A and B are shown apart, each in its own frame.
Chain A
Amino acid sequence: MPLVELEHIEKWYGQNHVLKGVTLGVERGAVVSLIGRSGSGKSTLLRCINGLETFDSGRVVVDGEALDPQKTDLRRFRQHVGMVFQQFNLFPHLTVGRNIMLAPTVVKKQSAREAEEIAREMLGRVGLSDKFDAYPEQLSGGQQQRVAIARSLAMQPSVLLCDEITSALDPELVGEVLKVLERLAADGMTLILVTHEMRFARDVGSKLVFMHLGRVWEEGDPKELMAHPRTPELAQFIGAVAA
């Protein structure tokens, strides 16, 4: 059974039909890249998976638990689903360590010592063990994004959603963040990414999903799809990204 199941997700923004019945399954340990032009609905779809966006009809199931934005205990649901943002969204008034410890202590009621142990472990995983007491603004963008990843991991989610997490970074900092993702993927973490990093999608991704006009236009093996797009829209998109 897939870890994440999206069934016929429909969403309207007023008159604007942004998601037109999206169905998608993500297996445990998969690395799924959502690509497509801006406005294709890929970010909206991602945000539906943890309830940051509501949807009008359809079903989202993560780890066997269905999400109904009106009724579900979102708080509990979101503990299965980590999310990392384009703008990092670290808490600027807290140190790196406190950023990571906040949710485990508040939401999971871990003791400070327990949370600190996990925070240090997660910082180690993203290669920033020495930054525990630093404030976010003392870090580079790439480091901040790695802290944001560590912060999500500390809640031990089943799946990590990444919303264009390298798009706000200077080009020379993109690599360090992708390397962290690659290592997570190798460790078996399930990742769903909205991304423009085609090389990462091809080399690390296990599935590529091309979204167009609010639909899953094409999906399949990344290498296969990139080499032989079946639709002119994907061919055109790949051409535009490569250019």
Chain B
Amino acid sequence: MPEFTLWDITRNLLLAARWTVLLSLIAFAGGAIVGLLVTLARVSKFKALRLLMRGYIELFQGTPLLMQLFLAFFGLSLIGIEVSPWVAASLALTLWSSAFLAEIWRGCVEAIPKGQSEASASLGLSWLEAMRYVILPQALRIAIPPTVGFSVQVVKGTALASIIGFVELTKAGTMLNNATFQPFTVFSLVALMYFALCYPLSLYAHSLEAKLHAARRT
């Protein structure tokens, strides 16, 4: 049996961490696009659409991400759609993060005083124009810190994709542990790498918040 040096373990984990990063980016970008549409539908003037989107959000917030991954992976193949772990993980994480982002952003949109949309409407702007030029730019300012904060949850959420056979950081850690029987070393390194990914995001969220506050002229 080959000996694994610390460097071997680290190197393999770093290689696997690429997929954690990539999956996080896909989930976050996909979640942001879908989440923006859900947000707009959630604050639209059509009651049925609002209720539907509320159901969507509740569904994804009220069930474990693990179940969503199982359904995307095993469920889809049961109904005859063969999906790779990549597709299943991307799909499930995108939908999951879209629900959370939509809920965060709805709060930000609703925090903008009603007078802003009334003034926009009085000037003849359509609902969508008011959103685009008046409401969303202001909501964005307050949305950034919680959004970047949520990206930390996305990174950690990708760990669950290991269950459906997606080889990312956690899965690689499990495999290396099986080969080396050094759980303490391996999982410490795994944890350290997650921390190295997440901590800068947290710092970034804080600095953005500070910058946005400074940008508010007094």
Counting CB contacts under 8 A, is B116 at the interface?
yes
CB-CB under 8 A from A108, the residues of chain B are: 124
Counting CB contacts under 8 A, is A89 at the interface?
yes
Counting CB contacts under 8 A, is B4 at the interface?
no
Interface size counted on chain A using CB atoms at 8 A: 30
Interface size counted on chain B using CB atoms at 8 A: 20
A103 engages B124 (CB within 8 Å): yes
A89 engages B116 (CB within 8 Å): yes
Known: A85-B115, A137-B218, A138-B217. A93 touches B138 (CB 8 A): yes
CB-CB under 8 A from A90, the residues of chain B are: 119
B119 engages A91 (CB within 8 Å): yes
B217: nearest chain-A partner, CB-CB: A135
Tell me the dominant secondary structure on chain B's binding face: helix
A92 engages B124 (CB within 8 Å): no
Counting CB contacts under 8 A, is A52 at the interface?
yes
A74 engages B121 (CB within 8 Å): yes
A93 engages B137 (CB within 8 Å): yes
CB-CB under 8 A from B198, the residues of chain A are: none
17 contacts between A and B (CB under 8 A): A51-B121, A74-B121, A75-B126, A78-B123, A78-B124, A79-B124, A85-B115, A85-B118, A87-B113, A89-B118, A91-B134, A92-B138, A93-B137, A103-B125, A106-B129, A107-B123, A151-B123
Please give the residue numbers on chain A whose beta carbons come within 8 Å of chain B beta carbons, in ascending order: 50-52, 74-76, 78-79, 81-83, 85, 87, 89-93, 102-103, 106-108, 135, 137-138, 148, 151-152, 155
